[in-house]
Structure 1
Amino acid sequence: MDYTGAAEAAADTLLSYRKDEAGWKLCRKTGEVAVYWRPSTEFTGNLYKGEGLVEAKPEHVWECLKPEPGGLRVTWDNNVQDFQLLEAVRDDISICRTVTPSAAMGIISPRDFVDVVMIKRYEDGSITSNATNVEHPSCPPQRYFVRGFNHPCGCFCAPVSGEPEKTQVLSFFQTDLSGYLPKSVVESFFPYSMTQFYNNLSKAAAALSV
């Protein structure tokens, strides 16, 4: 499989989502965080966009978000139970497995996801993680986990002009959870989960700033 091509395509797709303001509908807003949705063009579900300001330097926010085994993400993100490196394709591209715990009061059982992940930096100072689902020979579907599929997704950490202690975090999620889940459960889970993501990220990044 062309992992590099898949990673680069995911990064291009995420950048197009960042630039495209059309069709977004607000579905949840709490404080500095807003979550929007529109129908996904990748699968039959929705594409979700989160926008929020985090009161921390971009390097501290990125340290919390960085997709790496043994990183901080598993310590603060309630939706990440384990993160494993399956293969390093090159310095900025890797194949990873993410394990998520049960959610929505147990209605959503534990899932795992296998993705190619690309780290990319842009001229405006943004640092991004870009991911999409792939298959890897070392990680077929596993017992006790429903195999889910992330379509192009990721986060942008962007500096805020004139405010070095703040970071704009833009996140995109479009995940096929698979299994037999009511549409209403999925559509209520993601907006709530994304606002929690920002709240917990802000706390983790603030702790690094102390």
Structure 2
Amino acid sequence: MECLLDVSALAIKLNNTLIQYHSIEGDKWRVVKKTKDVTVWRKPSEEFNGYLYKAQGIVKDVANRVIDHIRPGPCRLDWDSLMTTMDIVEQFEENCCVMCYTTAGQLWNIIAPREFVDFSYTTQYQEGLLSCGVSLNYGETRPNFVRGHNHPCGWFCVPLPDNLDHSLLTGYIQTDLRGRLPQSAVDTAMASTLANFYSDLRKALKV
């Protein structure tokens, strides 16, 4: 796995890229979905011919527990309705690994099940945490799946200054689903998936 010969360099590059996304000014984003609990924006990606999505909402729990539910580990499969399998392929440190996961079909299976192999890295950010990832070219795609590709993506989770038992969760996602898909289907799926992600996560944290 050539790109992982220097795990530290890859982690630093990924971290810096996400911090750069987090500093993009508000007027660069366009709202594509808004509920009472979460807002989703998007802007053209600089990585591929698609969009960088931003999602933000308040989650009623501490940052460590929120990120424990998001990053690779036993919690994720228990609550993420889109993810169907997840295996840690290589573990470098407690906060750094390669994972392979599959997702369910979407929009009445217009978007067929996908497979991803991602490098994942979790680190401190301000008073909270950042969990980020990027896809790798690794191994053969499983039968009946399309291999998707996540360009740099991640989740910032920081405590609210006036309520430390609540966290502000901000995600940046830019996924190339690949395959022959209408762009309108991709856009609908991404906005809805991000909104559902917050809903499912909140339910899991109440358990």
TM-score, normalised relative to structure 2:
0.93
Please give the alpha-carbon distance, in whole angstroms, between the structure 2 residues aligned to 1:117 and 1:100.
17
Using the alignment, how far apart are the partners of 2:184 and 2:124 within structure 1?
A: 36
Percentage of identical aligned residues: 31
Listed as ranges, the gaps of 5+ residues in structure 1 are none
Residue of structure 2 equivalent to 1:55: 60
Q: Hey, what does 2:3 align to over in structure 1?
A: 2
TM-score by length of 1: 0.91
Which of 124, 127, 139 does residue 125 from structure 1 map onto? 127
Worse-superposed segment, 158-167 or 57-66:
57-66
1:55 maps to a residue whose letter is: K
Q: Structure 1 residue 12: deviation in Å? A: 1.0
Q: Kindly indicate whether structure 1 or structure 2 has the higher relative contact order, using CA contacts under 8 Å at least 6 residues apart.
A: 1
The residue that corresponds to 2:41 in the other structure is 36
Q: How does 1:4-153 map to 2 (within 5 A)?
A: 4=7, 5-21=9-25, 22-68=27-73, 71-122=74-125, 124-136=126-138, 139-153=139-153
Q: CA RMSD in A?
A: 1.3
Q: Deviation at 1:154?
A: 1.2
Alignment of 1:161-172 (within 5 A): 161-172=161-172
Which whole-Å deviations, capped at 9, do the CAs of 1:79-98 have from their partners, x for residues lacking one? Answer: 11111111113332211111
Gaps of 5+ in 2: none
C-alpha deviation, 1:26, in angstroms? 0.6
Range with greater deviation from structure 2 (177-186 or 90-99): 90-99
Q: 1:165 offset after TM fit, Å?
A: 1.8
Q: Answer whether contact 1:150 1:174 (CA < 8 A) is retained.
A: yes
Which residue in 1 is equivalent to 2:175?
Answer: 175
- Number of aligned residue pairs: 202
Question: CA distance change for structure 1 residues 165 and 91 in 2, over 3 Å: closer, same or farther?
Answer: closer
CA offset at residue 38 of structure 1? 0.1
1:96-124 CA distance string (max 9 Å, x none)? 111101111111111100111111112x2
